[in-house]
Amino acid sequence: MLCAALSGCGNGDSMENFSGPTMGSTYSIKYLRHADLPAAKDIQREVEQILADVERQMSTYRSDSDIARFNALPANRCQKMPAPVLELIRVGQFLSEQSEGSFDLTVEPLLDLWGFGPQSRGEQVPDSRALAEVRQRVDYRHLRIDEDRLCKDAAVEVDFNSIAAGYAVDTVAARLAALGIHNYLAEVTGELKAAGKKLDGSAWKIALEEPRDDQQVAHRIIGVDGYAVSTSGDYRHYFMQDGRRYSHTIDARTGAPVLHTLASVTVIHPSALMADGLSTLLFILGPERAWDYAQRHDIGAFFVMRADTGFNTRANTAFERLAGGGKQQAEH
């Protein structure tokens, strides 16, 4: 996602912004500042504490995180978990059921096997024996919640990469609102939510990238107020082998990266957590099944498909309705 905040003038307010590293990537916050707000450094401190908590609870790249310690447990064990972790498990189970098991939070061993996970040993197409063995340890139905504990009846491992950043955006946005900030754009590792207006009174503009791996090109620009925007695609994390493209997005039902013409899906939703998860779910389903799912559940979705001459796009009516405030094509 490319985010643009234009300057302007009015009523003594000013545009404030800060950014930093998080979750192996970056975050950025832009907001309209007025006299009654806390100092900018205090707001940044609160945002960074939220992000540190998310990493401490949900990162699979930290051996001391709550979920990493759970992943190290053998089968038939339970571990007490903080409420946010259990919330994400419930969301993941819902998305798994909605996708008939294609979306699955327990794909961590498959990500490692294909070379995309924290314990991977290089990108490669695995042999059939290794794939069959790892698939025995992938199934969301092996997880269950027992009061404040997360339990496993098989040696499954949880990966929150498909929803953790969205959760972080929602949590940051809620804290900004509680501090009296109602005009903001919050972005964490590419997941974002915008509310209110910019300094010049116009809507926050979000540029959707064309799914190219050679350069960043804005494909379309939309206006957002009160919604989150998430894009999932195969154009950033993939490898090529024998002329075939292998994406980092795994279909848990097949145990392999998705293979279809869908290059990216953008979802607009009131919740960044749900936008994050749904964009991944739709991308896994592929162009036809994803379109039907979005239509059936009134999910605002914008699809970009690969074609012989470039890309074809398709947006449903829910997307056009939610993005109508800033709908325009970007000039290349």
Please state which of the ranges 4-18, 211-225, 227-241 shows the lowest mean pLDDT. 4-18
Domain count, the chain: 1
Any domain includes 207:
no
User: CA 10 to CA 176: how far, in whole Å?
Assistant: 21
Contact 159, 140 (CB under 8 A): no
User: CA 106 to CA 171: how far, in whole Å?
Assistant: 24
Asked if residue 3 has pLDDT above 50, the reply is no
Task: Give the structural domain span for 148.
Answer: 61-152
- Identify which of 143, 160, 140 has the alpha carbon closest to the alpha carbon of residue 85: 160
Q: What is the pLDDT of residue 123?
A: 76
Any domain includes 165:
no
Any domain includes 101:
yes
The stretches of 179-239 forming alpha helices (DSSP H) are none
Residues listed for the chain: 332
> What confidence category does residue 241 fall into, taking pLDDT thresholds of 50, 70 and 90?
low
Any domain includes 118:
yes
Asked if residue 151 has pLDDT above 90, the reply is yes
pLDDT digits (tens, 9 = 90+) for 95-138: 999 999 999 999 999 988 888 877 766 777 888 898 999 999 99
Please state which of the ranges 53-57, 205-209, 308-312, 325-329 shows the lowest mean pLDDT. 325-329
Mean pLDDT in the chain?
88
Torsion on CA atoms 9, 172, 169, 274, rounded to nearest 10: -120
Any domain includes 11:
no
Q: Which two tokens stand for residue 140?
A: 């969301």
In CATH, what number is assigned to the domain containing residue 91? 1.10.3980.10
Any domain includes 102:
yes
Any domain includes 106:
yes
| CA distances (Å), origin 68, targets 56, 76, 273 | 9, 16, 21
Q: Which two tokens stand for residue 39?
A: 């100092």
pLDDT digits (tens, 9 = 90+) for 53-63: 999 999 998 99
Q: What is the pLDDT of residue 158?
A: 96
Any domain includes 84:
yes
